[in-house]
Amino acid sequence: MKILVLGSGAREHAIVTSLLTEEVAHEIVVAPGNAGIAQDVSVEPGLDPLNGEAVTEYAIEHDIDLVVIGPEAPLVAGVADPLRTRGIPVFGPGKVAAQLEGSKTFAKRIMDAAGVPTGRAVRATTLLEAEEALDAFGAPYVVKADGLAAGKGVLVTEDREAAVAHSSHYLEHGAVLVEEFLDGQEVSLFLVSDGHTVLPLSPAQDYKRLLDGDAGPNTGGMGAYSPLPWLPETFVDEVIETVALPTVRQLAREQTPFIGLLYCGLILTGRGIRVIEFNARFGDPETQVVLPRLVTPLSELLFAAATGALATQPRPEFALDVAVAVVLASEGYPEAPLTGRAITGLDEAAAVPEVTIAHAATVRDAATGALLATGGRVLCVVARGTTFAEARALAYEAVGKIGLDGSQYRTDIAARVV
């Protein structure tokens, strides 16, 4: 197939890497891509992934068979809609269905209508409303921006003043949701959907806090591992029946089918499974540990979902090994990352057995040829092994070979399962 992938991060690099491992060769183009992706496939840095009409015209002109939308911003902007209108298979929900991620209020309404188990929440549009909700729920306080915040709009704290300050900051840009605190292990589960049928991928767990021991500010994710050996055997089927299918069916009833990747952010509480949040695309960095273990050809799943044929597909198969991902971030991340610094040692890191490196924010300097960091999360180092101890050792061996002044990473990814 001729496949156009929209995006420029490690998630998109992982998608491309998975597609390239298939026995059938595909012609893959990524827009805009990054330096690492450009080493593997063609990139179109001039094609704006937020411009639905431009993407559609490009797909038509280049006979694209499938468009895969990676990040949340193009989905919430409605880039999938003109593509579908012109009959181009696209993996990614339309603008309204993507509000599952774009609006916490929309997601809560859908969950309420579908009977999906989730925590109690109050939408606040003023600081007074937010403070009243904080006092009603009590500590620990949970405040979420009601919109896209690149994974950084969530605050969980015992400090009421910090919760009020967080609320005040995001109220300047819209509303916030104040939610009850849910205690338990968190799980990320991806489900491929064609608007009617859902098929699950392997569960993963990510690390949202910047520092070891789940300390420090919230980030877009500092690492992940998969599978989760501590999950009950019935977990995935329970999520399908109580969360994924009710949500997809509710959106279908509202004439806005969810076609793409339903990311279920879940927590195992003493009262059972609860939904923390939905995303409308592959999660980052969980994608980097889920897709390397996928045995079923990814292109078949994505195309079947995009064309409404998922019911003909068997449940995806996964290898029995494990995967661990460690994110290397720039100094100052997440508040004010320092960019433009040179990255070294990637060849040595990639030479470590069973290690792959997904580029998240890199560019090749045209004058010097040096690889430079262009964002907060720069690289995602992924290792596979027969055990978590083996995979962790390989991942951190590779991380240790990479040079980036001021860089930071967590040293405890997957330590709890070793």
Q: Count other Cβ atoms within 10 Å, centred on residue 404.
A: 21
Compute the distance between CA of residue 95 and CA of residue 243 in angstroms, rounded to an integer: 21
Residues 205 and 134 in one domain: no
**Could you please report the per-residue DSSP string of 99-150?**
HHHH-HHHHHHHHHHHT--B--EEEESSHHHHHHHHHHH-SSEEEEESS--T
Instruction: Give domain status of residue 145, yes or no.
Output: yes
The CATH number given to whatever domain includes residue 291 is 3.30.470.20
pLDDT at 145: 87
Which residues are CB-neighbours of 139 under 8 A, at least 6 positions away?
Answer: 157, 158, 160, 181
Max CA-CA distance within the chain? 59
Rounded to the nearest angstrom, the gap between the alpha carbon of residue 287 and the centroid of all alpha carbons in its chain is 7
| Domain assignment present for 288 | yes
In this prediction, residue 151 carries a pLDDT of 55
Residue 23 lies in a domain: yes
What is the domain extent for residue 246?
Answer: 183-312
CA neighbor of 157 nearest in space, from 212, 216, 213, 220? 216
Respond yes or no on whether the N-terminal peptide bond of residue 285 is cis (omega within 30° of 0): yes
404, 385 Cβ separation under 8 angstroms:
no
* DSSP, residue by residue, 217-282: EE-S-SEEEE--TTS-TTHHHHHIIIIIHHHHHHHHHTT---EEEEEEEEEEETTEEEEEEEESS-
Residue type (1 letter), 17: T
Residue 155: per-residue pLDDT: 87
pLDDT confidence of residue 174? 84
- What predicted TM-score, i.e. pTM, was given to this entire model? 0.93
Q: Are residues 11 and 78 in the same domain?
A: yes
Give the Cα separation of 75 and 103 in Å (integer): 12
Q: 3-class SS at 322?
A: strand
Asked if 172 and 191 sit in the same domain, the reply is no
Instruction: Sheet with 90-91: list strands edge to edge.
Output: 42-43, 27-32, 2-7, 66-69, 90-91
Question: CATH number, domain at 72?
Answer: 3.40.50.20
Could you tell me if 264 and 331 lie in one domain? no
- The answer to the question of residue 125 being in a domain is yes
For 10-66, the pLDDT digits (tens) are: 999 999 999 999 999 999 999 999 999 999 999 999 999 999 999 999 999 999 999
Question: What is the pLDDT, as a whole number, of residue 144?
Answer: 87
Answer for the pair 393, 415: CB distance below 8 angstroms, yes or no.
Answer: no
Give me the sign of the Cα torsion angle 270, 276, 280, 286: negative
Looking at the fold, whether 304 and 349 belong to one and the same domain comes out as no
Express each pLDDT in 108-124 by its tens digit. 999 999 999 998 888 99
Query: Which residue ranges of the chain lie beneath pLDDT 50?
Result: none
- Same-domain pairing of 135 and 62: no
